[in-house]
């Protein structure tokens, strides 16, 4: 089996390539520009990923495509971009790649979408049967791409597998999760002692393992799976688990959630506060039941690996 990995230099893509190499699975890294340092595996320079990207050379001999490249979700709305910008990469780029993949005889196309297709959170667990309710341009573009890919699958016979992960963490994580780790490590008191929400998380090692299962298992064809570590956590428990992994005290203040919401409104950070206080749970039982997949890393193991990486980065930076 030969695999093409798009977004191969990214947070998830780099981990997936390491895993494929360990398992002696032949793979090609699709990259925007030639790397400056040596890489394991074949390299295909494809430039920007959009509706005009030429994929024929990269797809030669490929049986499975794992499509990770895309315009990433940006928390800061001012930097978020318009729907057209997201569509250019996430929709047009995906459709173009899948169309060429089908023409080149690729058997399976794995599309890493987002739980934001389902919505921004609910007390009821999301499933693949939950009616899609994307709110922001990123989620809309991912949902539109899913629909277009299913149409291509029906028309061409290309097997399409859709994965909708929640928040992904692990060594190399950025954005809000990295800021939370930094705050806990620095001993900053956090006002989440009375927050008892539930949120699904996904360690990058578990996502990579599931991607390999979806690439190889025959029952994965044309399925949509939501993934998680299988251990949903409140924000207060997450802080405690991070503190334990970092070997430092958890400094949690018992602030009523309504006061945190008020502070969010006054500071213009309502969405960030909503994520910290609200629940977002996914049901990952279907992939476990249908593919026999089990998350190889527990939440604690994933946080330990992330904390170790953070400490190494912190120590190396003085």
Residue 50 DSSP label: S
Here the tokens at position 74 are 């940006």
**pLDDT score at 314:** 81
Strand order in the sheet with 42-45: 42-45, 26-31, 2-6, 64-67, 108-112, 159-164, 224-226
What residue ranges do the domains of the chain occupy? 2-164
Among residues 86, 126, 138, 225, the one annotated as catalytic is 138
Q: Which helix (H) or strand (E) holds 169?
A: strand 167-169
Cα distances (angstroms) measured from residue 260 to each of 197, 198, 273, 276? 14, 17, 7, 10
β 108-112/64-67 pair status = parallel
Which candidate, 83, 52, 78, places its Cα nearest to that of 268?
A: 78
Superfamily of domain 2-164: NAD(P)-binding Rossmann-like Domain (3.40.50.720)
Task: Say whether 310 is catalytic.
Answer: no
CA distance 214 to 64: 10
Decide if 58 contacts 101 (C-beta within 8 A).
no
Return the CA Rg of the chain.
20
Which candidate, 121, 220, 224, places its Cα nearest to that of 167?
A: 121
Cα distances (angstroms) measured from residue 94 to each of 143, 147, 157? 12, 11, 16
Decide if 120 contacts 76 (C-beta within 8 A).
no
CB neighbourhood size of 4 (10 A): 28
Please report, in tens digits, the pLDDT of each residue of the chain (318 residues total): 999 999 999 999 999 999 999 999 999 999 999 877 777 779 999 999 999 999 999 999 999 999 999 998 765 444 457 999 999 999 999 999 999 999 999 999 999 999 999 999 988 999 999 999 999 999 999 999 999 999 999 999 999 999 999 999 999 999 999 999 999 999 999 999 999 999 999 999 999 999 999 999 999 999 999 999 999 999 999 999 999 999 999 999 999 999 999 999 999 888 888 889 999 999 999 999 999 999 999 999 999 999 999 999 887 665
Which candidate, 151, 86, 158, places its Cα nearest to that of 117?
A: 86
**pLDDT score at 270:** 86
Q: Which residues contact 297 (CB under 8 A, 6 or more apart)?
A: 203, 205, 206, 229, 305
CA distance 127 to 288: 13
For 60-72, give the DSSP string: TT-SEEEE--SPP
Decide if 83 contacts 140 (C-beta within 8 A).
yes
CB neighbourhood size of 136 (10 A): 16
CA distance 56 to 2: 15
């Amino acid at each position: 089996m030969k695999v093409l990995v798009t977004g191969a230099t990214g947070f998830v893509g780099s981990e997936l390539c390491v895993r494929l190499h360990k398992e002696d699975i032949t793979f090609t890294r699709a990259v925007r520009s030639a790397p400056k340092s040596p890489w394991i595996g074949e390299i295909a320079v494809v430039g920007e990923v959009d509706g005009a990207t030429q994929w024929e050379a990269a797809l030669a001999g490929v049986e499975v495509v794992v499509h990770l490249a895309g315009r990433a979700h940006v928390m800061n709305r001012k930097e978020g971009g318009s729907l057209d910008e997201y569509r250019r990469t996430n929709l047009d780029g995906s459709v173009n790649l899948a169309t060429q993949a089908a023409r080149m005889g690729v058997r399976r196309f794995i599309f890493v979408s987002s739980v934001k297709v389902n919505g921004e959170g609910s007390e009821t667990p999301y499933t693949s049967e939950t009616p899609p309710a994307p709110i922001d341009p990123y989620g809309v573009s991912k949902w539109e791409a899913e629909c277009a890919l299913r149409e291509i699958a029906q028309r061409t016979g290309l097997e399409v597998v859709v994965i909708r992960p929640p928040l992904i963490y692990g060594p190399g994580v950025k954005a809000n999760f990295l800021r939370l780790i930094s705050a806990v490590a620095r001993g900053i008191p956090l006002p989440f002692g009375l927050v008892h929400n539930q949120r699904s998380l996904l360690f990058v090692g578990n996502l990579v393992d599931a991607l390999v299962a979806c690439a190889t298992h025959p029952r994965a064809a044309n399925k949509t799976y939501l993934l998680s570590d299988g251990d949903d956590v409140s924000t207060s428990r997450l802080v405690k688990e991070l503190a334990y992994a970092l070997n430092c005290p958890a400094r949690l203040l018992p602030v009523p959630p309504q006061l945190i919401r008020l502070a969010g409104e006054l500071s213009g950070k309502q969405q960030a506060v909503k994520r910290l206080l609200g629940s977002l749970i996914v049901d990952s039982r279907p992939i476990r039941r249908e593919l026999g997949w089990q998350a190889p890393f527990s939440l604690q193991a994933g946080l330990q690996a992330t904390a170790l990486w953070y400490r190494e980065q912190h120590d190396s930076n003085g």
